[in-house]
Amino acid sequence: MPVSTEALKQDLDGLTHKQLQQVADFIAFLKFRNQRRHRVIPDPTQMAALFAEFAEEDRALAEAGMGDYAVMLQQED
């Protein structure tokens, strides 16, 4: 069944506030569902490179923080 924008607008004009809220919720759902369908799937090679980069950064941060951690432990004793 063909749907026109004008017919939809007329139907919306006759709805209660509660019904309009339901329509708004449904529109939000449709937008969300559409976004999920168009998600880009990352390249596994690119993801592996990013994971490696972040792993190196995490290790460096952990090593840098170990000195501070040891000092804090000594202060607690």
What is the pTM for the complete model shown? Answer: 0.45
Q: How far apart are CA 69 and CA 65, in angstroms?
A: 6
Tell me, what's the pLDDT at 9?
A: 95
Q: Where are the domains of the chain?
A: 1-39, 42-77
Tell me, what's the pLDDT at 19?
A: 97
Among 29-33, 60-64, 68-72, the range of highest mean pLDDT: 29-33
Contact 12, 23 (CB under 8 A): yes
